[in-house]
Amino acid sequence: MPRFWLVKSDPDTYSFHDLLTDGSTSWDGVRNYAARNFLREMKKGDKVLVYHSGGESCVIGLATVSKDPYTDPTADNDTWVSVELKAGKKLKKQVTLAQIKQEPFLKDISLIKISRLSVMPVSDEHYEKIMAMSQ
* pLDDT tens-digit series, residues 42-62: 999 999 999 999 888 999 999
CA distance linking residue 44 with residue 108, whole number of Å: 26
pTM, two decimals, is: 0.96
Domain ranges for the chain: 4-133
Domain range 4-133, CATH class: alpha beta
* pLDDT tens-digit series, residues 104-126: 999 999 999 998 899 999 999 99
Mean pLDDT score of the chain: 96
Residue 75 has pLDDT above 90, yes or no: yes
DSSP state of 77: S
